[in-house]
A and B are shown apart, each in its own frame.
Chain A
Amino acid sequence: MYRYNDFDAAFLAERNAQFRAQVARRIDGSLTEDEFKPLRLMNGLYLQLHAYMLRVAIPYGTLGSAQMRQLAMIADRWDKGYGHFTTRQNIQYNWPKLPDVPDILDALAEVQLHAIQTSGNTIRNVTADHFAGAARDEIEDPRPVAELIRQWSTDHPEFQFLPRKFKIAVTGSPRDRAVTRAHDIGLRMVRNAAGEPGFEVLVGGGLGRTPMIAKVIRDFLPKADLLPYLEAIVSVYNLLGRRDNKYKARIKITVHENGIDTVREKVEARFAQLRPLFSGVDQQMLDGIEAQFAPPAFRNAPVDLFEAAYQTDPVFRAWADVNLTPHKAEGYAIVSISLKKHGATPGDATSAQMRVMADLAERFGHDELRVSHEQNIVLPHVHKSDLPALYRALRDADLATANIGLASDIIACPGMDYCALATARSIPVAQEIARRFEDMKLEHDIGPLKIKISGCINACGHHHVGHIGILGLDRAGVENYQITLGGDGTEDAAIGSRTGPGFAYDEITDAIERILMAYLDLRSDPGETFLQAYRRVGADPFKAALYEAPAEETREPAHA
């Protein structure tokens, strides 16, 4: 993991001191709210429906145990004993009080965390594959590059007042677990004909009210050219991006209105100017950063304990089958800890659970944790012989739900229960759907499925790229939910198609059930996933099930 140097620590201390003074001036009346608002947003502090909300960056989703414990301490001392992990690898505290926020930021700085650029029209927290450094299919660990981007973009003087917020995601694997095609810039590590690693650079992806899949601006960018090329892209966007209409200000609109060829031409021209100005210091810094991301000392040990538990304990086996991912090191596994217990709030962890996960990372996981964009926690390096003991500890902490990638592993934004922008609730809808499929004992039969829910068109719940997407809206003062089908956030990214009229709050769970019952009837065999079946048969049979079949007829599981 990256460790702050003296400059980093001093920068953060100075920045926090500035904000402490700004908070004091707001409270004593020296600053108006109009003057203070941009300052608090630059430090991740929003004012939401019921309270302030502090959004803390977890750069590229990587956390150490000490950092996780500090997040738990903050939740206990200054909040209500829990935190909410988000789709952008942040944690949000929902109830801080304004006078306490400077102390919270200082407590974060103690463990090398901050809230800088988690809001505002600037380059936001850089996200990455949550299996980085561990995935068997990886070309290279993308986190050193993500850290380099973080250092380059933090307080970058040219990019503090962009036309709109700007999001960058990085993956080092061919399998895209970072939704790179739905970001302003997506970086996918690839190899060229000579076998050298570099990046396919994608530009202009994004969800929100105008969802778009990113376009390739460069097939192959050498690693050494990364920062000047990124600077060229953001610089061109800063110039071309529309500031007359906030709804048309994202780079996806810039690319759409100007065309990718024009944008590419301008970016390449700017890159030619910038490239000579990067003297190589960035690559020296990257070398230093890479050394800090060296893999842990993996041990060579038998996996008999795992095999025995797997053969004799069906509950452990069910968890292992769903929540483990192959690791690059022999004898190791990647463990996904579900924050989606049936009926729980997606992405929430109590302070006690945070401490348990920190302890387990320390005991079994080389002190590393990750936050996934799917709002779960990952222990990236666990030896298989430790898995039975790890599982028992997770079970005791209510963290052993075996549902990763299944129907109840739902991404849900905070929605109108917390968010000032939302137009309908998300959380209770996710809770109800998860409970329904738990009651029906069907989600393992249904298999891999991404349900994603947003409480407004801003699409923080990534509903456009859900296999089943749900968008909550206000229709004449009533919560109403539109359904999209066929979205995909992977390397085959696709925007889902709207099925038709929306459903009332008390109808939406039945509607989702009808879609999935139709899938169970339509699939060619139990190995055909929902998305595969949808792509084979199209939307019509699902629309028929949604809008024509009376709910009573579909309540009995067809394949229970």
Chain B
Amino acid sequence: MARRPFTPKVITANALLEGDVVYFTAADVWTRHLAEAEILTDEAHADLRLLDAARQADQVVGPYLADMAEGADGPQPTHFREEFRRTGPSNYFHGKQAEH
């Protein structure tokens, strides 16, 4: 079976103290804003960056690579789960949608 091509990704996690959805930037810091996340297009580099992110376990919980598309305004979620994580719940104006 042919290996699936690597698609663009960002590293995301939840902040240790607040539980907020956070994204890893190219400057090795965590941001609440997806637009500021480092977009990873090379698989080997992505794996290395995930190791870098995992080393910051005093700040975050559960970092992982999330699929994204490259858009004019930065990374865009390709799956509805990441879209909900980017915005917040459907039933209340809570979470990130209320913070901007």
Q: Please name all residues of chain B whose beta carbon is closer than 8 Å to the beta carbon of A98 when the two chains form the complex.
A: 16-19
> Any chain B CB within 8 A of the CB of A33?
yes
> Any chain B CB within 8 A of the CB of A301?
no
CB distance from B34 to the nearest CB of A (A): 13
Decide if B16 touches A427 in the complex (CB within 8 Å).
Answer: no
Decide if B17 touches A99 in the complex (CB within 8 Å).
Answer: yes
> Any chain B CB within 8 A of the CB of A47?
yes
Q: Please name all residues of chain A whose beta carbon is closer than 8 Å to the beta carbon of B85 when the two chains form the complex.
A: 49-50
Decide if A428 touches B90 in the complex (CB within 8 Å).
Answer: yes
Closest to B14 in A: A47
Closest to A346 in B: B91
Decide if A345 touches B91 in the complex (CB within 8 Å).
Answer: yes
> Any chain A CB within 8 A of the CB of B36?
no
> Any chain A CB within 8 A of the CB of B6?
no
Q: Contact partner of A48 among B19, B88, B94, CB < 8 A? A: B19
CA distance A474 to B81 in the complex (A): 10
Closest to B21 in A: A50
> Any chain B CB within 8 A of the CB of A29?
yes
Q: Contact partner of B84 among A49, A99, A477, CB < 8 A? A: A49
> Any chain B CB within 8 A of the CB of A52?
yes
Which of B23-31, B44-52, B55-63, B68-76 contacts the other chain?
Answer: B55-63
Decide if A47 touches B19 in the complex (CB within 8 Å).
Answer: yes
Decide if B19 touches A479 in the complex (CB within 8 Å).
Answer: no
Decide if A50 touches B88 in the complex (CB within 8 Å).
Answer: yes
Q: Please name all residues of chain A whose beta carbon is closer than 8 Å to the beta carbon of B17 when the two chains form the complex.
A: 27, 97-99
Q: Please name all residues of chain A whose beta carbon is closer than 8 Å to the beta carbon of B33 when the two chains form the complex.
A: none
Interface 1/0s, chain A 206-219, versus B by CB < 8 A? 00000000000000
Decide if A427 touches B91 in the complex (CB within 8 Å).
Answer: yes
Decide if B89 touches A418 in the complex (CB within 8 Å).
Answer: yes
> Any chain B CB within 8 A of the CB of A95?
yes
CA distance A345 to B91 in the complex (A): 7
Decide if B84 touches A416 in the complex (CB within 8 Å).
Answer: yes
Question: Given known contacts A49-B84, A50-B85, A97-B17, is B94 in contact with A80 (CB within 8 Å)?
Answer: yes
Q: Please name all residues of chain A whose beta carbon is closer than 8 Å to the beta carbon of B88 when the two chains form the complex.
A: 50
CA distance A552 to B96 in the complex (A): 38
Decide if B19 touches A50 in the complex (CB within 8 Å).
Answer: yes
Closest to A82 in B: B92
Q: Please name all residues of chain B whose beta carbon is closer than 8 Å to the beta carbon of A97 when the two chains form the complex.
A: 17-19
> Any chain B CB within 8 A of the CB of A532?
no
CA distance A97 to B85 in the complex (A): 17
Q: Please name all residues of chain A whose beta carbon is closer than 8 Å to the beta carbon of B90 when the two chains form the complex.
A: 417, 425, 427-428
Q: Please name all residues of chain B whose beta carbon is closer than 8 Å to the beta carbon of A417 when the two chains form the complex.
A: 84, 89-91
Q: Please name all residues of chain B whose beta carbon is closer than 8 Å to the beta carbon of A479 when the two chains form the complex.
A: 80
CB distance from A38 to the nearest CB of B (A): 14
